[in-house]
């Protein structure tokens, strides 16, 4: 994935950032979401960073995993290994994450 080389300002127009990647069509803050957003005419990605219980930095908009995964709780209370077991795309299943 490579974004265009446009240092924070577009000549004659606003800077366009993809917040959380291509949220809505793809699970937010996933590599797939970032890759798909990079295919659009954007200037960059805007992300939020949180630290896990074992000090690993991860990308997530919310301080908890409740809304975006099949897990629950605060990111800072989970280890990175814990978070790797969660499914960030389960809500994007045909039945809305029911199975």
Q: Known catalytic residues? A: 19, 61
Q: Indicate the SS3 state at residue 57.
A: strand
Secondary element (H or E) of residue 59: strand 57-59
Residue 3 tokens read as 């974004």
Quickly list DSSP for 9-24. Answer: -BTTB---EEETTTBT
Q: Could you give phi then psi for residue 53, rounded to 5 degrees?
A: -60, -30
């Amino acid at each position: 994935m490579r974004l265009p080389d446009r240092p924070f300002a577009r000549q004659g127009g606003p800077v366009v950032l993809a917040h959380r990647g291509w949220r809505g069509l793809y699970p937010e803050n996933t590599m797939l979401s970032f890759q798909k957003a990079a295919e659009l005419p954007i200037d960059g990605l805007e992300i939020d960073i949180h630290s896990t219980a074992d000090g690993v930095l991860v990308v997530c908009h919310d301080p908890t995993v409740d809304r975006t995964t099949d897990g629950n709780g605060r990111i800072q209370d989970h280890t990175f290994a814990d978070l790797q077991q969660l499914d960030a795309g389960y809500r994007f299943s045909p039945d809305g994450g029911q199975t």
